[in-house]
Structure 1
């Protein structure tokens, strides 16, 4: 668990959720948040301090140390617009990866939940269904398809203006459907842009930790029925289209390093 906790906090720092100089919760508060004893939290903090990402201050708690991220980098403007489509199961770290890439490139980030959640929750409530519902037939067969339609339309509008875009959503049904993959590739290609599909792979303990940490109401059903939920998670899932796998498991390379490698490959392809 100490590796999972260290990775979560490291990713939040890289993604900008934890900013330079921000004070972190206490050891006991973090232990409560992750549902563990104080020992794995202390070990995680020691690891992050050794990496220079956290500074321990006597009697004043810990603060984030990431000054380089606050410097304004020049936006990357490729000759050909790039579409980075990032999929993964809940808690895999796909949004964190999207945020890291957006901070590196200054390309717009389009996240499904951020883009559509208020409308989805209002629609579900109007239909007499809990706003946090993500399991009913109404959500899965009526609401969910329109969420993805709106997300792809937003991406297309950006790309048609010559902008690159980073798009994050589970995309599980979509990326398993070869016909959908061919359509999205054709849509992006018709706008003289390049599509890059990323699948974020993650181990089960790290996924559960992410989901518990974010505390979103839409995840309550998953956490309450975790064993049944995980039984339907295919950890070896592979999209039905050419793609890159990013591993966000606890023992994998840091997510920010993998993000940098991905951007380097894209830059080389542009030359």
Structure 2
């Protein structure tokens, strides 16, 4: 059995930090190999080069042009890489917003994911309210966030909070003030097999 874990949520929620904090304990407790696939790490330099060529702005990750041109191919490559690792017996943590894919139910659709029944799939939604997320985005000073901050009213319309009723299999993680107990509960959930 291999594990595919998605860490999803809006910008500034702390998805990557959480995944990096949990990967060591997941490896230790499961005894299996894990890889972390962060969309920004995998495609950051590539997207910067493409956006520089298209618009002159290598840091654009939120304009309509980026969303229509690069977003979907980036996610397709991310999932292709995840599937390849899973076939090799490597557990995978995937980090990215993935809000559209979640909203459309794709992350719970094994056929769309292209994974076998022996792959345990968990989808973690990292929650953080808008004000705290914006504060984190400002404090991290990543140039890729410039468009988002300059067009915050437009960006915030894309933010949504998945309801428990609509997504009963979604694992929620409140990242406002996480504790060691919160991490432990999440680890226990991720170590349990889910078909």
Say whether the 8 Å CA contact 1:94–1:168 is kept in structure 2. Answer: yes
- Contact 2:79 2:113 survives alignment (8 Å): no
Question: Between Structure 1 and Structure 2, how many residues are aligned?
Answer: 186
Verify the 8 A CA contact 2:26 2:191 in the aligned structure 1. Answer: no
Q: Any stretches of 5+ residues in structure 2 without a counterpart?
A: 28-33
Q: Name the structure 2 match of 1:109.
A: 36
Deviation of 1:264 (Å): 1.8
Q: What is the deviation of 1:95? A: 1.0
User: Which of 76, 80, 89 is the aligned partner of 1:149?
Assistant: 76
Q: Is the 8 A contact 1:181 1:241 kept in 2?
A: no
Task: Using the TM superposition, give the Cα deviation of residue 205 of structure 1 relative to its aligned residue in structure 2, in angstroms.
Answer: 2.4
Q: Deviations over 1:141-181 (max 9, x none)?
A: 11111110111111111100011111100001111112564
- Taking structure 2 as the reference length, what is the TM-score of the superposition? 0.84
| TM-score normalized by the length of structure 1 | 0.62
Residues 149-228 of structure 1 aligned to structure 2 (within 5 Å):
149-179=76-106, 181-183=108-110, 187-189=114-116, 192-228=118-154
RMSD: 2.3
Q: Which residue of 2 aligns with 1:33?
A: none
Matched, 1:237 2:162: yes
- Per-residue CA deviation, residues 22-72 of structure 1 (Å, 9 max, x unaligned), is xxxxxxxxxxxxxxxxxxxxxxxxxxxxxxxxxxxxxxxxxxxxxxxxxxx
| TM-aligned CA distance change 1:131 to 1:186, over 3 Å | closer
| Cα offset, 1:263, TM superposition | 1.7
- Mapping of residues 95-106 of structure 1, within 5 Å: 95-106=16-27
Matched, 1:81 2:2: yes
Contact in 2 for aligned 1:185/1:195 (Cα 8 Å): no
| Distance of 1:177 and 1:101 partners within structure 2 | 27
Task: Show structure 1 runs of 5+ residues with no match.
Answer: 1-79
SS in 2 for 1:140: helix
Whether the 8 Å contact between 1:178 and 1:241 is mirrored in structure 2 is no
2:54 corresponding residue in structure 1:
127
The one-character-per-residue Cα deviations of 1:102-134 (angstroms, maximum 9, x if unpaired) are: 122242111000011111111111223411112
The verdict on how the C-alpha distance between 1:189 and 1:218 changes in structure 2, with shifts beyond 3 A counting, is: same
